[in-house]
Amino acid sequence: MLADLRAHFAASGVLEVETPLAGPAAGTDPALQPLRARYTGPGYPWGVELYLQTSPEFAMKRLLAAGSGPIYQVCKAFRDGEAGRLHNPEFTILEWYRPGVGLPALIDEVATVARLALQAPKLAVECHSYAALFDSRLGVDVFAADAAALRELAVQNRVPGADRLVLERDGWLDLLLSHLVQPELGADSLCFVTDYPASQAALARLNRDGRTAARFELFHRGIELANGFDELTDGEQQAARFESDNCTRRARGDTPIHVDRHLLGAMQHGLPDCAGVAVGLDRLLMLRLGLRDIDDVLSFSLQRC
Amino acid sequence: MATYSTNEFRGGLKLLLDGDPCVIIENEFVKPGKGQAFNRVKIRNLKTGRVLEKTFRSGESVEAADVVDRDLQYLYNDGEFWHFMDGESFEQCQADANAVGDTTKWIKEQDTCMVTLWNGTPIAVEAPNFVFLEITETDPGLKGDTSGGGGKPATLETGAVVRVPLFIQTGEKIKVDTRTGEYVSRVKDE
């Protein structure tokens, strides 16, 4: 599978890069927890705390700002607190960026790459906006509904135990998506969900309507496979999102994450307009081989390594 | 009050939910890449035996249920309660009809049963996998039948009725698998 993917990128002029897996700064996304490590030695006689990267995004954006052109990477990523049938704290990401390319073109390429990886050249593609999906599956306007209305919807649709959950608005959206919508997505297609609510923009730029973000996800057979952005390039907005993420972390009692000053510097210098995407290769391999558990495609999962 | 975080969830863990002791059968971690993580669990209510599903926000804490399984000896039935004893501490406890359920038809005095205790009170009693019981009544068998194609009903000393091969006679002792309720073999008294 890796050989097929590398051949695709070599043929289309995308440079393979490597970036550090461990560094003193990391992503601030409140939904992602990095693992921590410690380096002591020349340069840091008293030691420095390092994060194992939750994705190679920031370092790759610094390369883009330095004029790398289109780049891709196959690397390990680490996320604390995630283990299950579809999760392992250490997993493999394929991430790539194309400067000067918009989301529709990137979605086309993700479909090409997914078909290649799944050995399913004829797999159909469908695209739905997040709002249209919620409207057609659950009959709800995601922009108008407040947390109480979303909770009511979860209870009505018999999400087990929904009546006693305490969640914020985006948490309810995540519950509805993961329990009621996602299992049916991409049953026999590559299903792209686009235009996520602005509150779930992560590192995507906002669309002109101000209420959606230029972010998409790919689902196949109910499994989330990829997350892509038309990347936010505005350094000030990026700094504001770091700050707000860390506020969210502090508010719930988590330690804030060291903000990546180098990334902000690179963005001020000028990150070219670009689209980028991260693909979970372990899950792709699972689907290619028809396996049910991420354990089955890892040499040794955390329980066994 | 002891609690478990969702990170401790695994099959077999005992929780207190809506006032009832429950055991986790299956635990699935569900998380959108950039969103809220959930634990979706399948749970058996230990009092009613019903299986239900629940969803927890990952990181939540849930009250633990003080539920233990102990091997206890069945002593006697006083008409209302079934009395059991711990063979080491000689402590006794009584189980009501709800807790004993169908198990009554397999057990006789001195049998060792697995008793599920919630806060010290029996809520379920499981018979040993195999029991050895005497037949109190069955139709006379046919001479020469050794394979027992089809078999015939036989009433056991505890009142249970099982199908036995045709050659089995009243007064004989047989071995029964209580999980399936099926005859296993004849038992020779020493």
pLDDT tens-digit map of B110-119: 999 999 999 9
If contacts are CB pairs under 8 Å, which of residues 170-189 in chain A contact chain B? 170-171, 173-175, 177-179, 182
Task: Specify the pLDDT at position A27.
Answer: 92
Helix A130-138 to helix A169-176 angle (10° resolution) is 70
A276, A60 contact by CB (below 8 A): yes
Q: How far apart are CA B139 and CA A140, in angstroms?
A: 68
Helix (H, G, I), strand (E, B) or coil at A64: helix
pLDDT over 60 at B73, yes or no: yes
Single out the residue of B33, B41, B32, B39 nearest to residue B11, CA to CA: B41
Task: Give A103-110 contacts, CB < 8 A, sequence gap 24+.
Answer: A103/A194, A103/A214, A103/A216, A103/A228, A103/A230, A103/A275, A105/A275, A106/A228, A106/A275, A106/A276, A106/A277, A107/A192, A107/A194, A107/A216, A107/A228, A110/A190, A110/A192, A110/A218, A110/A226, A110/A228, A110/A277, A110/A279
Helix (H) or strand (E) holding B183, with range, is: strand B182-187
For residue A85, the distance in angstroms to the closest alpha carbon of chain B comes to 7
pLDDT tens-digit map of B93-108: 999 998 998 899 999 9
The answer to ipTM > 0.85 is yes
Both tokens of A274, joined, read 């670009």
In this complex, is the C-beta atom of B10 within 8 Å of any C-beta atom belonging to chain A?
Answer: no
Helix (H, G, I), strand (E, B) or coil at A162: helix
Task: Specify the pLDDT at position B146.
Answer: 59
Task: Specify the pLDDT at position B189.
Answer: 66
Q: How far apart are CA A231 and CA A209, in angstroms?
A: 17
Task: Specify the pLDDT at position B188.
Answer: 79
Task: Specify the pLDDT at position A104.
Answer: 96
Note whether B38 contacts A166, CB cutoff 8 Å: no
pLDDT over 60 at B54, yes or no: yes
**Interval B155-169 mean pLDDT:** 91
pLDDT over 90 at B142, yes or no: no
Single out the residue of B31, B21, B45, B27 nearest to residue B121, CA to CA: B21
Number of neighbouring beta carbons within 10 Å of residue A278: 22
Q: In what order do the strands lie in the sheet with B67-77?
A: B92-95, B82-85, B67-77, B112-118, B121-126
**Interval A131-144 mean pLDDT:** 96
The CA radius of gyration of chain B, in Å to the nearest whole number, is: 22
Task: Specify the pLDDT at position B148.
Answer: 52
Cα dist. A125→A98, A196, A218, A295, B180 in Å? 21, 18, 10, 28, 50
CA atoms within 13 A on the CB side of B69: 12
Residue written as token pair 């020493």: B190
For residue B38, the distance in angstroms to the closest alpha carbon of chain A comes to 8
If contacts are CB pairs under 8 Å, which of residues 42-101 in chain B contact chain A? 52-59
Cα dist. A155→A143, A146, B24 in Å? 19, 14, 22
Number of neighbouring beta carbons within 10 Å of residue A183: 12
Closest chain A residue to the Cα of B18, Cα to Cα: A164
Task: Give A108-111 contacts, CB < 8 A, sequence gap 24+.
Answer: A110/A190, A110/A192, A110/A218, A110/A226, A110/A228, A110/A277, A110/A279, A111/A190, A111/A192
Closest chain B residue to the Cα of A201, Cα to Cα: B34
pLDDT over 60 at A133, yes or no: yes
Note whether A82 contacts B29, CB cutoff 8 Å: yes
For residue B9, the distance in angstroms to the closest alpha carbon of chain A comes to 11
User: Structural domains in chain A?
Assistant: 2-304 (3.30.930.10)
Task: Specify the pLDDT at position B166.
Answer: 87
Query: String of b and e for B100-113 (b: at least 16 CB within 10 Å)?
Result: beebbbbbeeebeb
> Residue B32 is nearest to which of A160, A167, A224, comparing CB atoms?
A224
Task: Specify the pLDDT at position B48.
Answer: 86
Q: What is the mean pLDDT of chain B?
A: 90
pLDDT over 90 at B20, yes or no: yes
A52, A24 contact by CB (below 8 A): no
**Interval A226-237 mean pLDDT:** 96
Helix (H, G, I), strand (E, B) or coil at A197: strand
Note whether B36 contacts A171, CB cutoff 8 Å: yes
**Interval A255-263 mean pLDDT:** 94
For residue B66, the distance in angstroms to the closest alpha carbon of chain A comes to 22
Both tokens of A185, joined, read 């997505």
Chains A and B form CB pairs within 8 A to the count of 76
B61, B2 contact by CB (below 8 A): no
pLDDT band at B143 (very low <50, low <70, confident <90, very high): low
Longest dimension (CA), chain B: 75
Task: Specify the pLDDT at position B141.
Answer: 65
Task: Specify the pLDDT at position B147.
Answer: 58
**Interval A115-135 mean pLDDT:** 97
Both tokens of B88, joined, read 């080491």
Contact residues, chain A, for B52 at CB < 8 Å: 160
A219, A193 contact by CB (below 8 A): yes
Q: What DSSP assignment string belongs to B97-144? A: HHHHGGGGGT--TT-EEEEEEETTEEEEEE--SEEEEEEEEEPPPPTT
Q: What is the mean pLDDT of chain A?
A: 96
> Residue B34 is nearest to which of A166, A167, A202, comparing CB atoms?
A202
* Residue B41, Cβ density class (10 Å: 0-12 exposed, 13-18 middle, ≥19 buried): buried
B124, B116 contact by CB (below 8 A): yes
Q: What DSSP assignment string belongs to B38-82? A: EEEEEEEETTT--EEEEEEETT-EEEBP-EEEEEEEEEEE-SS-E
